[in-house]
Chain A
Amino acid sequence: MIARMVKVEIVGPGGRILEVLSLLRELGVFQIEHDSTAFIPAQDQDKVRSHILDEKTLAERIFYEELKARIDELFGCLPQLETRESYLDPGSVLESVTQTVQKHSATCREWSRKRETLQQELAELSRYRDFLRALEPHLEGLLLESGLEFIGVTIKEPDALEELMRVISRLTQNRYQILTAKGADDTLIALITLEKGVAQKVRAVLGEQHVPELTSPAALAAVPFSEKSAFLRQRVEQATAELVSIETEQAAFARRWGAIYGRVRSWLEVRLALLRNVAYLHQTGMCFFIHGWTPEQDLARLEQEAYRLFGGQVVVVKKQILEQDLDQVPVTLRNPPFFRPFELFARLLPLPRYASIDPTPFIAIGFPLFFGMILGDIGYGSILLAVALCLARRARSDTVRDAARILLVCSIYAIVFGIIYGEMFGELGTRLLGLKDGHLVERRHAIVPMLYFALSIGVAHVTLGLLLGVVTALKRKTGREALFKLVNIAVILGLAVLFLSLMEEVPRFLAMPLTITLLLLIPALFFSGGVLAPLELMKNVGNIISYARIMAIGLASVLLASVANDFAGMTGNIITGVLLALLFHVINLVLGVFSPAIHALRLHYVEFYSKFVVPGGKKFEPLKK
């Protein structure tokens, strides 16, 4: 449900403003209202003004922001390491930190620059090493003496090689040699050996044909081709050692100073958060005013703490929430433990407004029920139960744990409905375990009764939604909307009984008075809902028919399970049959989790929520650590 909120004004002497903000942050139950026009009475508007920072506090804020920016920059250059915890008082070391941070930043920046350069060089050397490694076996017997030019190229399209050889052959009068090998990424690497005189021309042609030349890294540029390989290995070792040395220095520095700088940064963040919030406060000549919201159940604690720390100097005043404040009140959901995991579904949609109803308890009851009604199988339910228990035990994140709890409840409902339908892996349970005599409904054959059952659920659910809509409309003081929803309920119930009367499920003589009543309700419908009222009514009827999916998807699920069992029997081989049946059942189980979940969710989101949830609530975001 939506927690009841209290509109609060905190008043105190100007000098204690930061202490009060610090307390609010510590308690984590108070949200400052940024637009507090509604909090200040019209006659007092000229006496109260926005809080303006004095020169000293402003200078303090600028100093903290600059220092934090420098520390952030320093951390940007350091590796992310687990550091010890520092117990230094940040306030006392602030001056020393201000002096050292610049020097340390410069050192760390230099390390980062060197590290980047070395990493780039190593990447370049690695590419060139691949080139040399691919060609090395072919280099024996190649004339590597001076006077010749070597051009390395990579060719992505094998067909381009022929064309390239034709062109080089023409340019060099056949005085060239080409060696090819496959590179690491399956591209073709080629080494062209030719006379120095024609090298320039060949390079120009390569450029025209978009064949990239593998240029030698800067460190190897002056080294003769025959010595490149050995020199490269040497340079890689040297650069790697330099890189390791820099990384060791960085790690040592991070371990030594990281904790201190980290502690100072956290302290600065707290101070800056408080100073930033000061901008949303108000003041008179002597006092400050903090306007905001707190959950009703936390108000007493807030008052007690304020009294304990500040005596009577700081006062917490509860103010009345007026009708015009309703859209401003922040929303926080507080549900009993059983319903809480289902807030996961509420979080997928925008929050409901304060003067609306939290749909979580209704989805917590309806969702597993619909899921169970659709899946309804002891076997599948038991597997899901086991999965849910494992997930709940091993889950680390809250979201996964909530999802596991939801699955747990859903699987229990699936087992219960499996018993009602007499299904265990389709009709396998009926055959093997003799569930045939125990079940209440056989879904595969009772199609029309199941359809009526699903539609009845629809009537009940949509009517409940409309009733909740009446409550919401009354809370929001929109009487005509409440009347429209009431008329809709009357018409839907009237139509349902009329239908049953025509089907002779209830006495036939009711049909005439019901028809007259429905005709009489038409003016009320137009009066309360306007000209589009019939459209809205048809939408509601359509919503009810939409519940037929409970029967339809359930039927599809049970028929798929039957197909799985029949396939197993048709193979004629017990092992193949069992494997095939297992495969089909796994597919059906996966479908059996997703399909009922999506459809049960949709029935709530589209058919049910639309009747009473007013979206657009502001999330309650208290000041906290």
Chain B
Amino acid sequence: MEKAYLALAAALAVGLPAIATAWAQSRIGAAGAGTIAEKPELTGTVIIMLAIPETMVILGFVVAVIILAM
């Protein structure tokens, strides 16, 4: 039973930040596409903005690995 709880915790640790990242990226991506259409010189900045929320899911993944390694 404990294993099942650990697996659930790991899944939540990755899944919830993944949903949050996806939502944030969808908003930033749409705005970024508009920005690049008007000012192509801001491509680099848009890539940075788009990649920032990914940290959430990466941290979630690290937490999940730690949970499963327990």
Contacts and interface: CB of A to CB of B under 8 A. Distances in A.
A334 to B, nearest CB: 21
Contact of B61 (A448, A548, A598, A601): A548
B60 to A, nearest CB: 10
B61 A602 contact: no
A339 to B, nearest CB: 18
Contacts of A542: 55, 59
The range of chain A's interface size is: 10 to 19
A552 B58 contact: yes
A448 B69 contact: yes
B24 interface: no
A552 B59 CA distance: 10
Contacts of A552: 58, 61-62
Given A448-B65, A451-B65, A548-B61, A599 B51 contact: yes
Contacts, number: 47
A605 interface: yes
Given A598-B51, A602-B54, A349 B44 contact: yes
A447 interface: yes
Contact of A545 (B52, B54, B58): B58
Given A447-B65, A451-B65, A548 B58 contact: yes
A396 B58 CA distance: 39
B26 interface: no
A546 interface: yes
Contacts of B47: 348, 598, 601-602, 605
Contacts of A447: 65, 69
A606 interface: yes
Interface in A379-399: none
Interface string B31-65: 00000000000011101100110110011011001
Contacts of A451: 62, 65
A598 B44 CA distance: 11
Contacts of B48: 602, 605-606
Interface of A: 348-350, 447-448, 451, 542, 545-546, 548-549, 552, 598-599, 601-602, 605-606
The 4 A-B residue pairs whose C-beta atoms are closest, nearest first, are: A348-B44, A602-B51, A349-B44, A549-B58
